[in-house]
A = this chain, B = another copy of it.
Amino acid sequence: MSEPSTESQPGNEPPALTPTAWAILGYLSLKSQSGYEILRAARESIAEFWGVSPGQLYPQLQNLAELGFIQAQGAAEGPRAKQQWSLTEAGQQALQQWFTAPSEPLKIRDEALAKLFFAAKGGPAGRDSGLLARLQAERRRIQAQLDRTLAAALPDGPLPDPQEAAKLGAPELAVRYGAHAARTARHWAKDLLGKDPRNRAEP
């Protein structure tokens, strides 16, 4: 009764969906595609911080279709024919509500860090024989993965505002932003130069 409207509004609660389901809506908002294409795209972009596996994806496609958030592009031909999916109006609204809602806290499972913790805390046995050094080397590998993760979320294409990013405070993110800005500048330059045949030699 007190609700001004039943139309979903930006401030409304998003529906309760699984992580995989949100990934589906997200990818279908970019373009209509099949489940398999979503799987491949996810593996190449968000996999590091937002895992998507087939065992979850296909059931969720059915589920989202029943909820009316996505719809099959054409009638399915044959039992296992390729099926294109597209986002519905309701799905688009749900996605916007998801964007606006507060996020789940970050979850990490980092085995190398756990080992480092216990080995460093434990008796001198742990610190013998280069164990700590090797664990730290493993941590460097993990850190590289974190870099990839952040790079995936700050892609070359659409830019966060530099002034916003500069205010973020966390040194790591600032560094990352610097790298990102440099990369983007290269791309800009490449695009601009590419339009002029005189500059074709320049990478």
Contact = CB atoms under 8 A, between A and B. Distances in A.
Interface of A: 10, 19, 22-23, 26-27, 29-30, 45-46, 48-51, 95-96, 98-100, 102-123, 125-127, 129, 131-133, 135-136, 138-140, 142-147, 149-150, 152-155, 157-158, 160-161, 164-165, 168-173, 175
A108 B48 contact: yes
B136 A50 contact: no
A133 B115 contact: no
A136 B108 contact: no
A96 B125 contact: yes
Contact of A161 (B133, B165, B168): B133
A49 B114 contact: yes
A182 B27 CA distance: 45
A95 B118 contact: yes
A25 to B, nearest CB: 8
Cβ-closest 9 pairs across A and B: A143-B170, A172-B172, A26-B118, A103-B111, A103-B112, A49-B110, A107-B109, A104-B111, A49-B108
Nearest to A100: B131
Contacts of A127: 158
Given A23-B114, A109-B49, A171 B168 contact: no
Contact of A46 (B117, B160, B168): B117
A49 B153 contact: no
A131 B99 contact: yes
A140 B111 contact: no
A129 B11 CA distance: 12
A145 B116 CA distance: 18
Contacts of A160: 120, 132, 136
B155 A169 contact: no
Given A115-B99, A120-B155, A108 B173 contact: no
Contacts of A120: 153-155, 157-158, 160
